[in-house]
Copies of this chain bind each other. A is one copy, B any other.
Amino acid sequence: MKISAMKKFKPVFYPDSVAVVGASKDARKFGYLCLKSLVNSEFQGSIYPINPGSSEILGLQSYPSIKSIPAKVDLAIIVVPAELVPSVLQECSHKGIKGAVIITAGFKEAEGFLGAELQDEARHIADNADIKIIGPNTFGMFNTHADLNASFTPLLSTMPQGDISFVSQSGGMCHTVSYLALDDGIGLDKVLSLGNRCNVDFADILEFLGEDLHTRAIAMYIEGIDNPRSLVEAAKKVVRKKPVVAYKIGKSQTASRAAYSHTGSLAGNYELYDAALRQAGVLMVNDSVELLDTAKALAFCPPAQGRRIAFCSPVAGPGIVSADCGQGHGLTIAEFSAATREKIEAILPPRTFRMNPLDMAFARDLDMWQEILMTIINDPGVDAMLIFFVKQEFFDSIIGGVVELLIDLLKTYMKPIVMCLISPRDIFVKEKAKLQKNRIPVYQTPERAVRALAALVKYSKMRQSSGIQVLQAQPTDI
C-alpha cells in the first residue's frame, strides 16, 4: 500500500517535538539562530536543544545527546559540522526520529570528494531509517500552520499564516520571496529550501503540498534537477488539484556552473526543462516578484471562465497601460454589451472614454462606483475585472466603500477581481489587508496586476480544457 506523502512528511512539517542538534549560546552561530527561530515562532510542541556543554540555552533545558531526551522526537534540526552529520543521523535513527533539517553545508556542493561521500553516507543512513531530510546545505524551512520556524532566520518567525507555499533550491530566494510577502502584508504557508536534496527532492515536496489542505498555490524556484522526469510527473498530478508556478534559471552556462557549486546539480538544458514543465501544466515565470504575484492571484481568486477582462480605472493612463499590457499577455479587452454601454453612458458624462478600458475619472461617489461595477460584472461578456484605485484626496472618502463593494461583488458573482492600488505603501494599509484577506489580490502597478491576472486566466483555461473541475480557492472557503 502506498504511504501518503502527508504521512511521510508529517514529522518534518507538523512535528510534535523538535531537537536542535548543535544548539548554541553564541549569537553568531546557526545553533543559536535556529533555536531562537523556533522559540520566536511560538512552536507549541516540545523543543530540545542538544549541546553536550550546556544545561540550558535560551531558557530551555538542554540535553547532551539525542538519546538522552526523555521523550519521543519527530524532527531534528541539525547544525553540527558536516563530518559529524552521519553519526547524528545514526542517533536520530535509534531514537525513531523521522524528519531532519540539515542546515550544515560542505556536502556534495563543496570542492573535493569528501563532501559528496558524506552526503552519500547520510542518505544511506536516512533511507534505511525512513528519515526525510530537508537539505543539507539549506537555510531550513518554516510552516506557519504549525508555528514552526525551523530555519536560521528568526525574523521569519513573524510571517503570518497564508496559503502559498514556496519550495526553493536556494535559501536566498526563500528570503527574497518571504520578505516580499511580508512587505505585501500577506502570509505564506510553507517555505523551504531543498538545498542539496539528499533524499527529498522537488517531486516529493510537490506531492506533499498537493495533499496539504493549507496550500492553495505552490511556487517553485529551480536551479538544477537530477531527476526531471519525476518532477514533471509529480507536477502533472498536482496541477490537477492546485496551481503550480515555477521560476527556473540556468539559461546561461556560467550560472549553471555556479548552480552546481551551490546545491550540487547542473542546471541542465533550460529549454528542455522549460518545455517539459509547461507541458505538465506548470506556469513558468522569469522574475521573483512575478513568482509571488502570480501565486497570490492563483491562491486568492476563483477561476476565470475566460480571458475577457474589464479594466476600470479612475485614472485613465494606468487603465490604458493595463489593457495594452494585458493584450501582450493573452488577455482580451472585454467588449461591453449594448445594455452595459447604455447604462454606463447614463451614469458617466461624455468627457472620458466610456468603453473598456473604462475611465471612471468622473465617478466621484460610491453610488456611481456601485452602479458601474455591478453593471459590468453582470455583463456576460466579462470574465474578470481589474479595478484601479488611486491615492488622491477626492477619492479618499470612498475607499472604504469601494473595498466593501468589491468584496460583495466577488462573493455574489464569483468572477475574479484584481485590484491595482496606486498609492504609497504606508497609505491604505488596512484597506489593502482587508481586500487581500477577502481574496482580492492587490498590486501596486498595472503591469504586475496584469501579469498575475493573465496567469490566473491561463491556469483556469488549462483546467477547463482538461475537463477537470477547478479546485481553486473559493471565497466561500474562507
Query: Could you list which residues of chain A lie within 8 angstroms of chain B, going by C-beta atoms?
Result: 27-28, 33, 105-106, 109-112, 115, 152-155, 168-173, 175-176, 179-180, 182-183, 221, 223, 249-252, 254-255, 257-259, 261-262, 286-289, 313, 315-321, 323-328, 333, 350-353, 355-357, 359, 361, 364, 388, 390-394, 422-425, 444-448
| A106 cross-chain contacts in B, Cβ below 8 A | 351
Residue of B nearest to A152 (CB): B392
B111, A27: Cβ atoms closer than 8 Å: no
A to B CB contacts below 8 Å, 9 in the list: A105-B352, A110-B352, A155-B424, A170-B315, A172-B390, A258-B316, A261-B353, A289-B447, A289-B448
Give which listed residue, B173, B179, B326, B390, contacts A423 with CB less than 8 A. B179
Distance in angstroms between the alpha carbons of A466 and B170 in the assembled complex: 42
Distance in angstroms between the alpha carbons of A325 and B221 in the assembled complex: 14
**A111-B350, A318-B170 as given contacts; A175 in contact with B252, CB under 8 Å:** no
Do the beta carbons of B316 and A255 come within 8 Å of each other?
no
Across the interface, do A183 and B425 meet the contact criterion of CB distance under 8 Å? yes
A27 to B361: give the CA distance in the assembly, Å.
Answer: 17
Q: Which residue of B171, B172, B255, B391 is within 8 Å of A179 (Cβ)? A: B391
In the A-B complex, the 9 residue pairs with the closest CB atoms: A170-B317, A172-B315, A255-B324, A261-B353, A172-B317, A252-B327, A111-B350, A249-B324, A262-B316
| Given A327-B252, A333-B254, A320-B359 contact (CB < 8 Å) | no
Q: Are A249 and B356 closer than 8 Å at their CB atoms?
A: no
Please determine whether A175 and B316 come into contact, CB atoms closer than 8 angstroms. Answer: no
Q: How far is the CB of A160 from chain B (nearest CB, A)?
A: 13
| Copies of this chain present | 2
Distance, CA A278 to CA B255, complexed state (A): 30
Distance from A77 Cβ to chain B, minimum over Cβ atoms (Å): 16
A105 to chain B: closest residue by CB: B351
Task: Identify A28's interface contact among B321, B325, B353, B394, CB under 8 A.
Answer: B394
Give the distance to chain B from A248, nearest Cβ to Cβ, in Å: 10
CB distance from A310 to the nearest CB of B (A): 12
Do A154 and B393 have beta carbons less than 8 Å apart?
yes
Check if A288 sits within 8 Å of B353, measured CB to CB: no
A359, B258: Cβ atoms closer than 8 Å: yes
CB pair B155 A319 closer than 8 Å:
no
CA distance A324 to B224 in the complex (A): 13
CB distance from A98 to the nearest CB of B (A): 28
| Residues of chain B with a CB closer than 8 A to A33's CB | 393-394
A445 touches B258 (CB 8 A): no
A471 to B317, CA, bound (A): 32
Contact B333 A110 (CB under 8 A): no
Contact yes or no, B422 A179, CB < 8 A: yes
- For A356, the closest partner residue in chain B by CB is B254
Bound Cα distance A355, B109 (Å): 14
Which residues of B have CB within 8 Å of A356?
254
Q: Is the CB of B173 within 8 A of A318?
A: yes
CB contact between A287 and one of B105, B152, B179, B447 (< 8 Å): that residue: B447
Q: How far is the CA of A205 from the CA of B468 in the complex (A)?
A: 56
Report Cα–Cα, A317/B359, bound state, in Å.
43
Contact A221 B317 (CB under 8 A): yes
The chain B residue with its CB closest to the CB of A248 is: B324
Are B324 and A424 in contact (CB-based, < 8 A)?
Answer: no
Q: Please indicate the chain B residues that have their CB under 8 angstroms from the CB of A172 in the complex.
A: 313, 315-319, 388, 390, 422
Closest to A397 in B: B28
Is A262 in contact with B446, judged by CB distance below 8 angstroms? no
Bound-state CA distance A254–B323 (Å) is 8
Residue from the list B169, B351, B364 in contact with A111, Cβ < 8 A: B351
Q: In the assembled complex, which residues on chain B have CB atoms less than 8 Å from the CB atom of A447?
A: 286-289
Residue among A249, A333, A388 with the most chain B CB within 10 A? A249
Give A109 to B369 CA distance when docked, in angstroms.
22
**Chain B hits for A112, CB < 8 A:** 350
